[in-house]
Structure 1
Amino acid sequence: MFFYLFLIFLSLPLTSHSLNQDGLFLQRVKLGLSDPTNALSSWNDRDDTPCKWYGVTCDQSTHRVNSVDLSNSELAGPFPYFLCRLPFLKSINLANNLINSSLTADIATCQNVEVLDLSDNLLVGSVPESLSELRNLKSLSLTSNNFSGDIPRKFGQFQKLELMSLAGNLFTGSIPRELGNISTLQNLQLGYNPFAPSQLPSELGNLSNLAVLWLSNSNLVGPIPESFGKLSRLSNLDLTLNRLSGSIPSSLTWLKSIEQIELYNNSLSGELPRGFLNLTMLRRFDVSTNQLTGTIPTQLTQLELESLNLFENRLEGTLPESIAKSPNLYELKLFNNKLTGELPSQLGLNSPLKRLDVSYNGFSGKIPEKLCAKGELEDMILIYNSFSGKIPESLGKCNSLGRVRLKSNRFTGVVPEEFWGLPRVYLFELEENSFSGKVSNRIASAYNLSVLKISKNQFSGNLPMEIGFLGKLIEFSASNNLFTGSIPASLVNLSTLNTLVLDDNELSGGIPAGIQGWKSLNDLSLSNNKLSGSIPDEIGSLQVLNYLDLSGNYFSGKIPVQLDDLKLNLLNLSNNMLSGALPPLYAKEIYRSSFLGNPGLCGDLEDLCPQEGDSKKQSYLWILRSIFVLAGLVFVVGVVWFYFKYQNFKKAKKVVTISKWRSFHKIGFSEFEILDCLKEDSVIGSGGSGRVYKVVLSNGDTVAVKKLSGESKKEDASRNSDKDEFEAEVETLGKIRHKNIVRLWCCCNTGDSKLLVYEYMPNGSLGDLLHSSKGGLLEWPTRYKIALDAAEGLSYLHHDCVPPIVHRDVKSNNILLDAEFGARVADFGVAKVVQGVNKRTESMSVIAGSCGYIAPEYAYTLRVNEKSDIYSFGVVILELVTGRLPIDPEFGEKDLVKWVCTTLDQNGIDHVIDPKLDSSYKDEISKVLEVGLRCTSSLPIGRPSMRRVVKMLQEAGMANKPKANKSDGKLSPYYNEEVSDQASLV
Structure 2
Amino acid sequence: MVVTLFAVLFIVPVVLGSLDPGFNDDVLGLIVFKAGLQDPESKLISWNEDDNNPCNWAGVKCDRQTNRVSELLLDNFSLSGRIGRGLLRLQFLRILSLSKNNFTGTINPSLARIASLRVIDLSENNLSGPIPDEFFRQCGSLIVVSLAGNKLSGQIPDTLSLCKTLRGVNFSSNQLSGQLPDGIWSLYGLRSLDLSNNFLEGEIPEGIGSLYSLRAINLGKNKFSGRIPDSIGSCLLLRLLDLSENLFSGGLPESMQRLRMCNYLSLRGNLLTGEVPAWIWGMRNLGTLDLSANVFSGQIPNSIGNLLLLKELNLSSNQFGGSLPESMTKCTNLVAMDVSHNLLTGNLPAWIFSLGLQTISLAGNKLNGSVEYSPLTSLQFLNMSRNSLIGSIPESIGELKTLHVLDLSNNQLNGSIPFEIRGAVLLKELKLEKNFLTGKIPTQIEKCKSLTSLILSQNHLTGPIPAAIANLTSIENVDLSFNNLSGSLPKELTNLSHLLSFNISHNNIQGELPSGGFFNTISPSSVSGNPSLCGSVVNRSCPSVHPKPIVLNPDSSSNSSNAGSFPSNRRHKIILSISALIAIGAAIFIAVGVLAITILNIHARSSMSHAAASPILSGGDDFSHSPTNDAQYGKLVMFSGDADFVAGAHALLNKDCELGRGGFGAVYRTILRDGRSVAIKKLTVSSLIKSQEDFEREVKNLGKIRHHNLVALEGYYWTSSLQLLIYEYISSGSLYKHLHEVPGKSCLSWRERFNIVLGTAKGLAHLHQLNIIHYNLKSTNILIDSGGEPKVGDFALARLLPMLDRYVLSSKIQSALGYMAPEFACRTVKITEKCDVYGFGVLVLEVVTGRRPVEYMEDDVVVLCDMVRGALDEGKVEECVDRRLQGEFPADEAIPVIKLGLICASQVPSNRPDMGEVVNILELIQCPSEGQALE
TM range (shorter): 0.5 to 0.7
User: 2:528 corresponds to which residue?
Assistant: 548
Scaled by the length of structure 2, the TM-score of the pair is 0.59
Comparing 226-235 with 448-457, greater Cα deviation is found at 448-457
C-alpha separation in 1, matches of 2:280 and 2:265? 12
Task: Give the superposition deviation at 1:315.
Answer: 0.4
User: 2:480 corresponds to which residue?
Assistant: 477
Superposed CA deviations along residues 161-205 of structure 1, whole A, max 9, x for unmatched, are 111011233333312343233232221011122223x11222223
Pair 1:203-2:183 in alignment: no
> Do 1:232 and 1:255's aligned partners in 2 also have CA atoms closer than 8 Å?
yes
Amino acid at match of 2:401: N
C-alpha separation in 2, matches of 1:858 and 1:896? 29
Amino acid at match of 1:193: N
> Do 2:315 and 2:339's aligned partners in 1 also have CA atoms closer than 8 Å?
yes
Q: Secondary structure at the match of 2:354?
A: coil
Provide closer, same or farther for how the CA distance between residues 942 and 56 of structure 1 changes in structure 2, counting only shifts above 3 A.
farther
User: 1:329 corresponds to which residue?
Assistant: 334
Superposed CA deviations along residues 914-956 of structure 1, whole A, max 9, x for unmatched, are xxxxxxxxxxxxxxxx9x8899786476877999999968999
User: 1:308 corresponds to which residue?
Assistant: 313
User: 2:378 corresponds to which residue?
Assistant: 376
User: 2:183 corresponds to which residue?
Assistant: 178
Task: Give the superposition deviation at 1:418.
Answer: 1.7
Pair 1:407-2:409 in alignment: yes
User: 2:740 corresponds to which residue?
Assistant: none
C-alpha separation in 2, matches of 1:147 and 1:39? 27
User: 1:264 corresponds to which residue?
Assistant: 268
C-alpha separation in 2, matches of 1:238 and 1:402? 29
Pair 1:825-2:787 in alignment: yes
What pairs with 1:671-820 in structure 2 (closer than 5 Å)?
A: 716-717=660-661, 723=667, 730-731=677-678
Q: Secondary structure at the match of 1:316?
A: strand
Q: Secondary structure at the match of 1:220?
A: strand
C-alpha separation in 2, matches of 1:361 and 1:802? 14
Task: Give the superposition deviation at 1:264.
Answer: 0.9
Amino acid at match of 1:723: V
Amino acid at match of 2:487: I
C-alpha separation in 2, matches of 1:122 and 1:144? 9
Task: Give the superposition deviation at 1:403.
Answer: 2.7
What pairs with 1:267-666 in structure 2 (closer than 5 Å)?
A: 267-303=271-307, 304-351=309-356, 353-370=357-374, 372-373=375-376, 375-411=377-413, 416-419=418-421, 422-433=424-435, 442-449=444-451, 451-452=453-454, 474-475=477-478, 477=480, 487=487, 493=493, 496=496, 498-500=502-504, 503=507, 511=510, 515-516=513-514, 520=518, 547-550=527-530, 565-566=536-537, 614=592, 618=596
User: 1:190 corresponds to which residue?
Assistant: 195
Pair 1:220-2:224 in alignment: yes
> Do 1:313 and 1:336's aligned partners in 2 also have CA atoms closer than 8 Å?
yes
Provide closer, same or farther for how the CA distance between residues 617 and 76 of structure 1 changes in structure 2, counting only shifts above 3 A.
closer
Task: Give the superposition deviation at 1:499.
Answer: 1.9
C-alpha separation in 2, matches of 1:232 and 1:42? 49
> Do 1:77 and 1:99's aligned partners in 2 also have CA atoms closer than 8 Å?
yes
User: 2:148 corresponds to which residue?
Assistant: 143
Q: Secondary structure at the match of 2:420?
A: helix
Tell me the matched-pair count: 697
C-alpha separation in 1, matches of 2:361 and 2:896? 28
Superposed CA deviations along residues 621-646 of structure 1, whole A, max 9, x for unmatched, are 989xx9xxxxxxxxxxxxxxxxxxxx
> Do 1:177 and 1:204's aligned partners in 2 also have CA atoms closer than 8 Å?
no
Superposed CA deviations along residues 265-312 of structure 1, whole A, max 9, x for unmatched, are 100011112134543332221111100001112222442322111111
C-alpha separation in 2, matches of 1:797 and 1:892? 24
C-alpha separation in 1, matches of 2:19 and 2:42? 22
Comparing 263-272 with 321-330, greater Cα deviation is found at 321-330
Provide closer, same or farther for how the CA distance between residues 520 and 660 of structure 1 changes in structure 2, counting only shifts above 3 A.
farther
C-alpha separation in 2, matches of 1:30 and 1:332? 50
Task: Give the superposition deviation at 1:37.
Answer: 6.7
Provide closer, same or farther for how the CA distance between residues 215 and 897 of structure 1 changes in structure 2, counting only shifts above 3 A.
farther
Comparing 215-224 with 36-45, greater Cα deviation is found at 36-45
Superposed CA deviations along residues 108-134 of structure 1, whole A, max 9, x for unmatched, are 532221011222332313431551542
Q: Which has the larger radius of gyration?
A: 2
Candidates 116, 122, 126, aligned match of 2:127: 122
C-alpha separation in 2, matches of 1:268 and 1:107? 42
Task: Give the superposition deviation at 1:28.
Answer: 4.2
C-alpha separation in 2, matches of 1:897 and 1:226? 41
C-alpha separation in 2, matches of 1:860 and 1:392? 38
Provide closer, same or farther for how the CA distance between residues 295 and 518 of structure 1 changes in structure 2, counting only shifts above 3 A.
farther
Provide closer, same or farther for how the CA distance between residues 440 and 82 of structure 1 changes in structure 2, counting only shifts above 3 A.
closer
Task: Give the superposition deviation at 1:245.
Answer: 0.7
> Do 1:125 and 1:148's aligned partners in 2 also have CA atoms closer than 8 Å?
yes
Amino acid at match of 2:480: S
What pairs with 1:950-969 in structure 2 (closer than 5 Å)?
A: none
Listed as ranges, the gaps of 5+ residues in structure 2 are 1-14, 543-588, 605-618, 626-645, 647-653, 680-703, 705-728, 733-743, 800-812, 819-833, 850-877, 902-916
What pairs with 1:900-911 in structure 2 (closer than 5 Å)?
A: none
Provide closer, same or farther for how the CA distance between residues 132 and 253 of structure 1 changes in structure 2, counting only shifts above 3 A.
farther
C-alpha separation in 2, matches of 1:139 and 1:320? 44
Q: Secondary structure at the match of 1:347?
A: helix
C-alpha separation in 1, matches of 2:17 and 2:465? 91
C-alpha separation in 2, matches of 1:567 and 1:461? 22
What pairs with 1:871-886 in structure 2 (closer than 5 Å)?
A: none
Comparing 232-241 with 331-340, greater Cα deviation is found at 232-241
Q: Secondary structure at the match of 1:341?
A: coil
Provide closer, same or farther for how the CA distance between residues 15 and 726 of structure 1 changes in structure 2, counting only shifts above 3 A.
farther
C-alpha separation in 2, matches of 1:949 and 1:225? 21
Scaled by the length of structure 1, the TM-score of the pair is 0.57
User: 1:688 corresponds to which residue?
Assistant: none
C-alpha separation in 1, matches of 2:54 and 2:464? 80
User: 2:240 corresponds to which residue?
Assistant: 236
Task: Give the superposition deviation at 1:480.
Answer: 5.9
C-alpha separation in 2, matches of 1:328 and 1:722? 61
What pairs with 1:968-983 in structure 2 (closer than 5 Å)?
A: none
Pair 1:92-2:96 in alignment: yes
User: 1:912 corresponds to which residue?
Assistant: none
> Do 2:115 and 2:140's aligned partners in 1 also have CA atoms closer than 8 Å?
yes
Amino acid at match of 2:56: K
Provide closer, same or farther for how the CA distance between residues 543 and 393 of structure 1 changes in structure 2, counting only shifts above 3 A.
closer
C-alpha separation in 2, matches of 1:902 and 1:414? 53
Task: Give the superposition deviation at 1:866.
Answer: 12
Task: Give the superposition deviation at 1:136.
Answer: 1.2
Task: Give the superposition deviation at 1:460.
Answer: 7.4
Comparing 283-292 with 224-233, greater Cα deviation is found at 224-233
Q: Secondary structure at the match of 1:394?
A: helix
RMSD: 6.3
> Do 2:381 and 2:405's aligned partners in 1 also have CA atoms closer than 8 Å?
yes
What pairs with 1:856-871 in structure 2 (closer than 5 Å)?
A: 862-863=839-840
C-alpha separation in 2, matches of 1:795 and 1:182? 44
Listed as ranges, the gaps of 5+ residues in structure 1 are 1-11, 505-509, 523-540, 574-610, 627-654, 662-670, 672-708, 736-755, 760-770, 773-782, 816-823, 849-856, 873-890, 905-929, 958-986
Task: Give the superposition deviation at 1:381.
Answer: 1.7
User: 2:690 corresponds to which residue?
Assistant: none
Provide closer, same or farther for how the CA distance between residues 394 and 67 of structure 1 changes in structure 2, counting only shifts above 3 A.
same
Task: Give the superposition deviation at 1:48.
Answer: 1.4
